Amino acid sequence: MLSTEAFIEHFYRRIVRAIALGTLAIASIVASITLVTFVVIGNSAIIAILAIALISCLGSGLTLFLLARKQPLWQATIPFGLSIIVNEIVTVLLFPELRLAVTPFLSVVVLLAGLYRSRLFSIGIVVVCIVVIIFIVLVVPDESITVIPLPLLRFLQASSLIALLIGIWAFLDQILAAQMQALQLAEQRAYEAENERQKVETANRELEQRNVEQQRLLELVAALELPILQIDNQVLLVPLVGNLDSRRAEQLRRRILEEVAERRAHTVIIDITGITVIDTAVAKALVDTATAIRLLGARTIISGIRPAVAQTLVHLNAGLGDIVTAPNPETALALAHHPVVA
């Protein structure tokens, strides 16, 4: 896709190419008709008209060549602009009767200078064109004497005005075409931006969905790692398996407190039959968990303390305080439904 700068450059080149092609075509026609007229009439003044037409062909052709060679725009327009100015001066000097027909062509030079997008350069070209116009008006002799045959004179005047109109039409046509192309380019960029926005929204939705699924998986893993079973309306059973480190103990305390508060349980049975290793930190975590449960108005029963774990607790001097213990979950369940006598 063209950038804005490249699009403007391409647009200006199309304008110069269209004007140069139109000028080349008209100048070629004028040169051909003038040559035929010279052969038929033999008027020596027609040679000058032929030379003027050939200069126009040379300037416009050289401009087209430079445009095809991808030369800078200002360099490509110089031959065409110079050919117009030279032809203006030569024409009004040799054929004063044509000055009103050819003078408006200086506006083409001003238009070409404006395409360079330099205010100083454009002002300089305007000053040059004004000087040429002053020269034409003040210096050129009166046009009362006509050296060109009347039919040829009328043809040259008409062809000059037609060429100017064609040049203006080509300029306006290229502007309209560029506007349509700019609208299409804007619509295309808007369409691409909308597609990119939809892609980003789709990616965000997919990312959010993956995050939700990941969160569900994490919750499922946490639930499987630290299951909390509801035995009846007010008794919870927490079977622990494997190693109970500080991280799992913290998660255990948080989840048990949430379940006790949500289900309004009065007893929590923590079965540690599957615990293989226990240390001071884990024993302290169990005591802290039981204390927190008691603050919520419930009691804790720890079941399944294995002999090795009991010996470890004794050696670590990590007693379980006033927490009720039971040999297995069945006994703990029975104790849960009967008050414990202190």
- For residue range 171-229, list pLDDT tens digits in order: 656 666 666 676 677 778 788 888 888 888 888 888 888 888 888 877 666 656 677 88
- Distance separating alpha carbons of residues 301 and 285, to the nearest angstrom: 15
Give the DSSP H/E element, type plus range, for residue 153: helix 150-225
Question: Contact, 174 vs 11, CB < 8 A?
Answer: yes
Is pLDDT at 107 greater than 90 in this prediction?
no
- Which of residues 125 and 31 earns the better pLDDT score? 31
Q: CA 29: distance to chain centroid?
A: 50
Identify the sign of the CA torsion 238, 243, 249, 250: negative
Q: Which two tokens stand for residue 102?
A: 């050819």
Neighbouring-strand partners of residue 238: 270
Q: What is the pLDDT of residue 197?
A: 86
- Distance separating alpha carbons of residues 283 and 303, to the nearest angstrom: 14
Which amino acid makes up residue 113? A
Q: What is the pLDDT of residue 341?
A: 46
- Distance separating alpha carbons of residues 190 and 143, to the nearest angstrom: 60
Q: Is the pTM of this model over 0.85?
A: no
- Distance separating alpha carbons of residues 120 and 259, to the nearest angstrom: 82
Q: What is the pLDDT of residue 87?
A: 82
Neighbouring-strand partners of residue 302: 270, 325
Q: Which two tokens stand for residue 165?
A: 């109109």
Pairing status of strand 324-326 against strand 299-303? parallel
Residue reference for tokens 């998986």: 217
Which amino acid makes up residue 96? P
- Distance separating alpha carbons of residues 145 and 181, to the nearest angstrom: 51
- Distance separating alpha carbons of residues 16 and 201, to the nearest angstrom: 45
Query: In Å, how far are 140, 222, 251, 265 from 219, measured between CA atoms?
Result: 98, 5, 11, 22
Q: What is the pLDDT of residue 25?
A: 87
Q: How many CB atoms lie within 10 A of CB 340?
A: 11
